[in-house]
Structure 1
Amino acid sequence: MADPMDDSPREACGVVGIYAPHDPVAHLNYLALYALQHRGQESAGIAVSDGDNITVVKDMGLVATVFDDRTLVTLDGHLGIGHTRYSTAGSSSWHNAQPVFRSTADHQFVLGHNGNLTNTAKLAEETSILPGMVGSDSDLIAELLAIEISSMSSSIRSQDKVLERALQAVLPRLEGAFSLVLADEERVIGVRDPNGFRPLCLGRLERGWVLASETPALDIVGAHFLRELAPGEMVVINGDGVRSSRPFPEERVDPRLCIFEFVYFSRPDSVIYGQSVHHARVRMGEKLAEQSPVEADLVMGVPESGLPAAEGFSRASGIPYGQGLVKNRYIGRTFIAPSQQMRSMGVRMKLNPLRDSIEGNRLVVVDDSIVRGTTTRALVAMLREAGAAEVHLRISSPPYRWPCYFGMDTGDRTELVAAHLSVAEMCDYVGADTLAFIDIEGLTEATGAVGAGFCNACLTGDYPVEVPVAPPGSIAYRRGAAQFADAQDELAPSLWATGDG
């Protein structure tokens, strides 16, 4: 269950694949996953192959909790993949932790998936996979590959490119978002869906190769960044090097990287579309200052992804930049408590105000997004309690009005405050003096990659592929608006019992 006081978007997963016959592959996977921990904190896993057998270790928890030196030393092999997970499809349980392992009569393989399929029900029906046979869309992909391998003739199964052949048959049937890393006994494979919704890049070790969701994972293992995989590309890595192919029809290839990789998901030291994520976030703040100026005494960011945008807002506006919130770096992502009043204290567990910076000042508070509005409302109340004279919210993404079907978990439209309230109504709801969002043109320009191709469906409702969404004006849409209003009425009296927000 999502934390009611965690208003941030939530990602699906981080993936890594390493082919390095002369290096400690399990340890390299561990380090790379550590660099991708921000993409998923529910479970972690590593699978390695020694050429004959594949060994998988996975469990619930953070990377450093699941693995230690004693665990890693048992994972002996020359190639492997790793995965860190946040569930968007499938429950949060050990069964759905990854990598997913499958064994057929003649072959073994493992799979790690970042993203979310949009046609899982159709695929399960076509292949007569019964409900309960698979626990997630990642599990479904693995099952489809296993079925494909089992259906091959014995002469084909005796060859060493069986997994590649199965992928070429299965991949065109998949719809939605999927950046995949796979491995059999002798090769590591990386795949990016034809829209490239989720990132995947390739790096070079001195004696091997690395696939990873983000470039910091390459940095931490000492790999040199070569390039991002192109949308619709599959790369196969083995003793002969790297081989690339395009298993999808050309007409399906349409680059649409999730724009929230720049806004929130990716680490600030990542490079995407050739652009520094940190510098892009600074430019978002500069654009905000140009589009929505305000008189104030201090600009402060909401840690962590709001900080670069706050720096940019300060630089463009001339208003001094300062630190107004201290983040507890050791708090878990989910805060469990028996009542709404107790859950509201979760904000204080994660963030605490610096009263000396806040008291008596007119504040510009910069954050990356508002999804449900609960955290923002609690935050504004906390700042007022600390003595803020005024609170002016500036958000470095446009209003988040539509659910994501491609790996970002924000619930349905009943949970999205911007889907049912105007900006002025949102301002009143969260208790701010003013509220302004960057517009979609400013956000795209700030990335530095105008024309590269983005998915911004959560902001515009313009989905690049078919999804099960209720259009505005439909019965489901109106029902969602009513449910949202009822939910807020129930929540409001106890949301912040000690504040004035």
Structure 2
Amino acid sequence: MPGLIGIYPFGLGRENWRLARFVYYGLLALQHRGQELASIITYDSGGFHESIEKGTVDEAYTEEKLNNLPGFIGLGYVAPSIDQKPVIIDHPIGLILVGDGKPNLESRVQSSWRAFAEMLADEIHRTGDALESARRLIEEIDGGFSFIALTENQELIAGRDVHGVKPLEVGSLGFDLGAIASESSALDVLGMEHITHVNPGEIVRFNPYSIEKARAKPKDKPNLSYCSFEYVYLARPDSTINGIGVYEVRERIGMLLAKEKPVKADTVIGIPETAIPFALGYSKASKIPASLGFITTGRKVRTAIKPSLFERLMGVQLKLNPIKCVIDGRDVVLIDD
């Protein structure tokens, strides 16, 4: 469930870009996918520059840190656990990889991604072709995952498993910058045009003058398995994933719920904030007015992805304070996502 973003400049003068701040703003839009660890990796003639920090994006990166991160290619990552980090490979080629989900290689998530990154680096070193190397790996390795990798050869490579479990969306800023991210909202906040999604089993390679694609062809026909959790909870409602609007899905679920479970009530309330689109859909279909029933205290926090039960319980207590005048003495349809 981590959030990934990669930003890549094209053409002459590409070395003049400083992309750390672009990555920072993209990560702010993906903060809901991971609040325990934030990472910005950049690349220039001096090699890789890595900044891997605990905490939220705005806590981890001050103006000074961003100003001290040079580099014209950028990679960003947020994670729900400090145990999930970017994988840094030094040999046989330099490569840094960030991933969402899990390749079926090891029992632990981080170990699986390290094995995947090592295999990718070995294959690129052997063949000299990053696109073909990534295609072969995706054909051979099962699991539900997406990844973005940056190599010492100034190539940005991204791909999804053949089932399409974890999303990746592609965007651009004119002909100057290309980008790839877990959700389209990260592209929107950067003022980029959302172009398309990476298809299941597809690999995308950015190089200085072009974008190339390849498609894995596994022996057995895979079953498409888009992650339903993205649509019902994890993704931002203003995101589009796999060509499907997240808000539209949530509203339609609420409308279907109203048809399947009709009741008489005075108001409809969604709880927590991610459930509001469901409540609005229920209200639209049932003609029962919707109300705002709860107010958040402090920073918005995704309690469901907090690492411990205590933090989840405290987070709920802080973020869900009821508006009593909306609830007292009324029959309420309360919808929890």
> For this pair of structures, how many residues does the alignment match?
327
Relative to the length of structure 1, the TM-score reads 0.61
The answer (yes or no) to whether the contact 2:104–2:112 under 8 Å persists in 1 is: no
* Partner deviation per Cα, 1:403-438 (whole Å, 9 max, x = no partner): xxxxxxxxxxxxxxxxxxxxxxxxxxxxxxxxxxxx
Measured at CA, do residues 38 and 346 of structure 1 come closer, stay the same or move farther in structure 2, by a change above 3 Å? closer
Moved more, 177-186 or 244-253: 244-253
Structure 2: how far apart are the matches of 1:280 and 1:59? 34
* Partner deviation per Cα, 1:257-288 (whole Å, 9 max, x = no partner): 11222111110101123332112211111111
Classify the secondary structure of the residue corresponding to 1:269: coil
CA displacement at 1:348 relative to structure 2: 2.4
Give the equivalent residue in structure 1 for 2:173: 205
Query: Which structure carries more strand by proportion?
Result: 2
Structure 1: how far apart are the matches of 2:46 and 2:110? 28
Classify the secondary structure of the residue corresponding to 1:349: helix
State percent identity of aligned pairs.
34
Measured at CA, do residues 346 and 38 of structure 1 come closer, stay the same or move farther in structure 2, by a change above 3 Å? closer
The answer (yes or no) to whether the contact 1:18–1:80 under 8 Å persists in 2 is: yes
Structure 2: how far apart are the matches of 1:306 and 1:297? 18
The answer (yes or no) to whether the contact 2:85–2:110 under 8 Å persists in 1 is: no
Written as runs of structure 1 = structure 2, the 5 A alignment for 1:126-165 is 135-148=110-123, 152=126, 159=128, 161=129, 163-165=130-132
Structure 2 unpaired stretches of 5+: none
CA displacement at 1:210 relative to structure 2: 0.3
Counterpart among 70, 81, 103 of residue 90 in structure 2? 103
Structure 2: how far apart are the matches of 1:118 and 1:283? 34
Establish whether residue 79 from structure 1 lines up as the match of residue 73 from structure 2.
yes
Residue identity opposite 2:234 in structure 1:
F
Counterpart among 213, 217, 224 of residue 193 in structure 2? 224
The answer (yes or no) to whether the contact 1:299–1:366 under 8 Å persists in 2 is: yes
Moved more, 268-277 or 140-149: 140-149
Give the equivalent residue in structure 1 for 2:38: 44
Structure with bigger gyration radius: 1
Structure 2: how far apart are the matches of 1:343 and 1:135? 23
CA displacement at 1:177 relative to structure 2: 1.2
Establish whether residue 194 from structure 1 lines up as the match of residue 162 from structure 2.
yes
Give the equivalent residue in structure 2 for 1:30: 24
Structure 2: how far apart are the matches of 1:41 and 1:308? 23
Classify the secondary structure of the residue corresponding to 2:195: strand
CA displacement at 1:169 relative to structure 2: 4.2
Structure 2: how far apart are the matches of 1:283 and 1:259? 14
Query: Which segments of structure 1 move beyond 6 Å, counting only runs of 4 or more?
Result: none
The answer (yes or no) to whether the contact 2:135–2:214 under 8 Å persists in 1 is: no
The answer (yes or no) to whether the contact 1:37–1:84 under 8 Å persists in 2 is: yes
CA displacement at 1:42 relative to structure 2: 1.3
Counterpart among 204, 210, 214 of residue 241 in structure 1? 210
Relative to the length of structure 2, the TM-score reads 0.89
Structure 2: how far apart are the matches of 1:54 and 1:15? 17
Measured at CA, do residues 51 and 170 of structure 1 come closer, stay the same or move farther in structure 2, by a change above 3 Å? farther
Give the equivalent residue in structure 1 for 2:288: 319
Give the equivalent residue in structure 2 for 1:18: 7
Structure 1 unpaired stretches of 5+: 1-11, 122-130, 369-501
